[in-house]
Amino acid sequence: MHPAYYLCPMPKLFKIFCWGLMISFLGSLPLGTLNVAAMQIGIQESIKNAIYFSLGSLLVEMIYVRISLMGVDWIRKQEKLMKAMEWFTLIIILALAAGSFWAAASKGDDAKNVFLENNMHRFLLGMFMSAVNPVQIPFWFGWSTVLFTKKILEPVKSHYNIYIIGIGLGTLIGNCVFIFGGKWLVQRISNSQQYINWVIGGIFAITAIIQAIKMIMHKDAVHKFTHADENKQA
């Protein structure tokens, strides 16, 4: 292999790191299952538990990115597995919505989402919820393809490693926006936890409805990813 594959100047690596961080941070800002769940854990439990949850979820995300960089063809062949994971994720979102509505309807400001009332360590819970969420695979495959096309990212181990580190840090910063933002709102609005539970429940419910419609109409990210060749021919 050409020596240039191993010798990567620091400015190049820093650029790759920044791209990974920026894409991940901006991708973490739209309301989604993981960042809203992290916010709810931060509100009803503690900032520490929410950070643990985020670290668990971003670890799995980093692993998924690495897999997507190395074995795209193999991943595309796992359509049945990815579809099953997608439906399972939908069930989890609905359970989170129901738990949030139940907490909001309960009397008292200390009512909690019953779905999150378990003894699983929040780091492991974050890993689990991220692992059954296959949507991030096509997301990162798409962005990685763009970076490869623009010659920003190259098939070099050092490129992959710094790219994934940037992604992990970007996801953590994005989740912290929700974690600390949610805590800040609760501290400044009276009866805010009850209101926020209604809002969070609504977010989960809307997310579930949109995802279900996309899956039924075969417009979801997993279907597009596993049928990419058919889409090109069409």
> Using CA of residue 164, residue 168, residue 173, residue 174, what is the dihedral sign?
positive
Judged against a pLDDT cut of 70, whether residue 131 lies above it is answered with yes
pTM of the model: 0.78
Tell me the average pLDDT across 15-29: 94
Q: 142-155: per-residue pLDDT in tens?
A: 888 888 888 888 88
Q: What span, in angstroms and rounded, lies between the C-alpha atoms of 32 and 42?
A: 15
Judged against a pLDDT cut of 50, whether residue 46 lies above it is answered with yes
Q: Are 171 and 28 in contact (CB under 8 A)?
A: yes
Most confident of 11-15, 108-112, 174-178, 181-185: 174-178
Q: Are 73 and 85 in contact (CB under 8 A)?
A: no
Q: What span, in angstroms and rounded, lies between the C-alpha atoms of 145 and 231?
A: 16
| 184: its two tokens | 């800040």
Judged against a pLDDT cut of 90, whether residue 58 lies above it is answered with yes
Q: Are 87 and 72 in contact (CB under 8 A)?
A: no
Q: 78-127: per-residue pLDDT in tens?
A: 667 777 877 888 888 888 888 888 887 876 656 667 777 778 899 999 99
